[in-house]
Amino acid sequence: MKPMTSLLGLSLALVMPVAAIADQGAERLTRLLEPLQTYAADFEQQILDSSGQRLQEVHGQMWLSRPGKFRWEVDAPYRQIVVSDGEEVFLHDPDLEQVTVQPLDTRVTHTPALLLSGSASELTESYEVDRQQQGAAETFTLTPRDADTLFEELKMTFYSERLGMLQMTDSTGQRTAIRFDDVQYNPSIDDSRFTFEIPDGADVIRESY
């Protein structure tokens, strides 16, 4: 949706080169992300098929610290924990008593979380960025330049300059929508939050790229 601006503002946008508008979107998104050092929030994640039918809904909490550290805990309906210590990512499924360990993929087109955890400077190289604003809501649509990606489109919506929603669409049209609540910007987070101890007796699967 386009912002409700004056006719003068709309006219200026129409005569501005497309590349300049895209550059402004990337620069604005970078300015919003650069001050972000830590982030904590509750979240609701929905997975929708190409027709918009809901396939799954989960709830949980997340913590993030730049560079490259994050913790993602799903509480319901099935518990799951994902932890990155900046070098490796641990995926723990308590019900299966299984832990998958893999190197952190630093390519921002493969790991959208890195957009928040320290790779904002790579935006202009990795994405084409379109910015739209309505009131206090700013939505950035990111289209990967590299065809070898895990998603075809990523949308980030900020409310009063605070990240409130992520939406990712893959090549099949399946969409993942994540809404954040009780957001804390730059809170104090103990580094132990991003350390994962493999439980005794768990099956460990190690993957490499």
Q: What is the pLDDT of residues 117-162, one digit of tens each?
A: 655 666 667 788 899 998 889 999 988 887 777 788 889 999 988 8
**What is the domain count for the chain?**
1
Confidence check: pLDDT of 7 > 70 = no
Average pLDDT for residues 5-11, to the nearest whole number? 34
State residue 156's pLDDT score.
92
CB neighbour class for 9 (10 Å; exposed up to 12, middle 13-18, buried from 19): exposed
Tens digits of residue pLDDT in 103-122: 887 665 555 566 666 556 66
φ/ψ (deg, to 5) at 115: -60, -30
State residue 187's pLDDT score.
96
- Select the more confidently predicted residue: 23 or 4: 23
**Tokens 């439980």 sit on residue:** 199
State residue 209's pLDDT score.
64
- Give the residue from 114, 102, 83 showing the smallest Cα distance to 209: 102
156: number of Cβ within 10 Å: 22
- Give the residue from 63, 104, 67 showing the smallest Cα distance to 81: 63
47 in any annotated domain: yes
φ/ψ (deg, to 5) at 67: -100, 135
What is the domain-level CATH number for residue 170?
2.50.20.10
As given in the structure block, the two tokens for residue 197 are: 């101890």
Average pLDDT for residues 55-77, to the nearest whole number? 89
136 in any annotated domain: yes
φ/ψ (deg, to 5) at 151: -145, 160
Confidence check: pLDDT of 3 > 60 = no
Confidence check: pLDDT of 11 > 80 = no
Average pLDDT for residues 189-203, to the nearest whole number? 95
Name the residue range of residue 195's domain: 7-206
2 in any annotated domain: no
1 in any annotated domain: no
Confidence check: pLDDT of 65 > 50 = yes
State residue 181's pLDDT score.
95
Q: How far apart are CA 150 and CA 79, in angstroms?
A: 24
- pTM here is 0.78
